[in-house]
Amino acid sequence: MPELPEVETISRQLQAKIVGKKLKGKKIIKVRRRAKLLIIDFIDKTSLVFHLKLTGQLIYNSRPSRFTRQVFYFNGGSNLVFNDMRKFGWFKFIKRTEDLEKKFGPEALKISFKDFQSRLTKRPKSKIKLLLMDQKFIAGIGNIYSDEILFCSGVRPARLAASLTEKEIKAVFDNIAKVLQAAIKARGSSEQSYLDALGKKGDYVKYHQVYRRTGLPCKKCRAPIKRIKLAGRSAHYCPKCQK
């Protein structure tokens, strides 16, 4: 589930619901996202940090299910339910988030073209899809959105960074923001288990051009979508639209 658009959706929804409430007697002053982390900041400068990994859910005012790992209760009776079928996700209370946040590269929605380009030239032999998913290179993009960004850019996922023309680098850069913003607007992609903080599915799957569409006709040219393996992950692309 949760890449940048999904975590951003949850973050915005929770920000509207729980700021000003108290958890364990401590007042919540902000809910925010860094990379794929969801961070709840308290007035005493401590934070509660979540990583939802593949199947984590954070749902406001929900009921526990068989997959519930933890329920957080706020003063006044409302709650926040943390579900995670595959148990990869985690949460922890920490004193300062700085050290944790330092481990990530620039935010995908904040990086400048200049920075993006210079980072690419420093990793000439890396495959472009793996670079987009490398959280130290650029933070927030995962398997779904790297495939979608590269489709929109006309670039195959296994291309080496050094092989991209200036025009292609610009296209990839532009499509990072374009695809992620559109996905946030649709409240993310619900492939299987993802739900937003209000317990609703995200609508972006219907806009997917290639992700998990192996063998289906490309929405632009009708050529069958291909799937390959890169670093153990599936990569989907249109052999005709992407060079």
Partner DNA sequence: CCGAAGACCTGCTGGC
Partner DNA sequence: TGCCAGCAGGTCTTCG
Q: Which of 17, 36, 213, 226 is catalytic?
A: 36
Q: Which of 20, 25, 114, 125 touches DNA (CB under 7 A)?
A: 125
Residue 54 touches DNA, criterion: CB under 7 A = yes
Q: Quick one: CA dihedral 189, 229, 124, 241, positive or negative?
A: negative
Q: Does 51 bind DNA (CB under 7 A)?
A: yes
36 is catalytic: yes
Q: What is the DSSP letter of 43?
A: T
Catalytically annotated residue among 2, 6, 148, 156: 2
Is the distance from CB of 82 to CB of 68 less than 8 angstroms? yes
Q: Tell me if residue 66 falls in helix, strand or coil.
A: coil
Among residues 11, 13, 47, 55, the one that binds DNA under rule CB under 7 A = 55
Q: Which stretch binds DNA (CB under 7 A): 42-50, 73-81, 172-180, 230-238?
A: 230-238
β 90-94/26-34 pair status: unpaired
Q: Among residues 40, 49, 133, 150, which is the contact residue for DNA, using CB under 7 A?
A: 133
User: Quick one: CA torsion of 161, 34, 87, 81, rounded to 10 degrees?
Assistant: -150
Helices 4-18 and 166-185 sit at what angle, rounded to 10 degrees? 40
Segment 17-46, which members bind DNA (CB under 7 A)?
35-36
Residues contacting DNA: total by CB under 7 A = 38
Which runs of consecutive H residues, i.e. helices, occur in the chain? 4-18, 98-102, 113-121, 128-133, 143-153, 166-185
Instruction: Catalogue the active-site residues.
Output: 2-3, 36, 233
What does the binding site for DNA look like in residue numbers (CB under 7 A)?
A: 1-3, 35-36, 51, 53-55, 66, 85-88, 103, 123, 125-127, 130, 133, 135, 142-144, 189-194, 205, 212, 230-234
